[in-house]
Copies of this chain bind each other. A is one copy, B any other.
Amino acid sequence: MTTTGRSTKTALNEQFARIGKALASPRRTELLDLLAQGEHGVEALAAEADMSVTLTSAHLQALRQARLVETRRDGPRIFYRLAGDDVFELLAAVRAVAHARLAEVEQVVRAYFGAPDELEPIGRDELVARARGGEVVVLDLRPRDEYAAGHIAGAVSIPLEALEEHLALLPPEAEIAAYCRGPYCVMAPRGIALLRRHGYRARRLADGVNEWRLAGLPVATGSEPGSWS
């Protein structure tokens, strides 16, 4: 053993704890959440997470040393991405435990997202059935590059900041199912509130692209299909 530990058990637990340490900072969980939407450059991550580039880089190094993320170089810039689906599933397990066990999570969700049913969540099965028949428009509220990196097949892309100016793209009588990065992302609730203010019938799909894909449902890449550019 080259590790500092003494026995097998200790050596293994040191490795398991490396993964835990990587998850032990709110900054890093936020970065992982962003990376779950597709690869990003350091500067983009720093801007999204509202921290300095230097600090972002340091945290990304920590994640890289725990092998939770991998890098790709393209000229002068370096793109980070999750190392695999197992990392996303780990992240989901953390959030599931946090939501089930920590009352604080429930409080924050309630305070910022409103009461549980206020957004009239729509389930996967119902959405698949009704979208097939054209009864529901699936709306992706994330930034364009995240949509391009992977989105629910058939979804229309209108980033939240551009939503108010591009309402014309949505037929007024349409029922809309809006989604964003996942169940803890504020974009969908914000977008739905705005849509309702303009008279739309809008409901929330709590899934993100990864939940959707890992459930075996169809995902597409690129910016053509339902986009407005």
Q: Which residues of A contact B (CB under 8 A)?
A: 1, 3, 5, 8-30, 33, 66-68, 83-84, 86-87, 89-90, 93-98, 100-102, 104-105, 108-109, 111-112, 184, 186
| Complex CA–CA separation, A184 to B9 (angstroms) | 8
B11 touches A108 (CB 8 A): yes
A83 and B103 CA atoms in complex are apart in Å by 14
Given contacts A100-B84, A102-B67, A94 and B19 within 8 Å (CB-CB): yes
B67–A108 touching, CB < 8 Å: no
Which of B17, B24, B67, B102 is in CB contact (< 8 Å) with A29? B17
Partner of A24, one of B15, B24, B27, B93: B24
A102 to B20, CA, bound (A): 13
Task: Verify A24–B20 contact, CB threshold 8 A.
Answer: yes
A12 engages B105 (CB within 8 Å): yes
Contact A20 B25 (CB under 8 A): yes
Point out the residues of chain B lying under 8 angstroms from A22, CB to CB: 20
Q: A20-B23, A93-B93, A102-B67 are in contact. Are A186 and B15 (CB under 8 A)?
A: no
Closest 5 CB pairs of A and B: A20-B23, A67-B101, A13-B26, A20-B24, A93-B93
Determine how many copies of this chain the complex contains.
2
Q: Residues of B contacting A17 with CB < 8 Å?
A: 23-26, 28-29
Q: Whose C-beta in chain B lies nearest to the C-beta of A6?
A: B50
The answer to whether A186 and B8 touch (CB under 8 A), given A22-B20, A67-B102, is yes
| Complex contacts, A3 vs chain B, CB 8 Å | 104
- Are the CB atoms of A101 and B68 closer together than 8 Å? yes
Contact call B68/A19, Cβ cutoff below 8 A: no
Q: CB within 8 A of A98: which of B8, B18, B24, B100?
A: B18
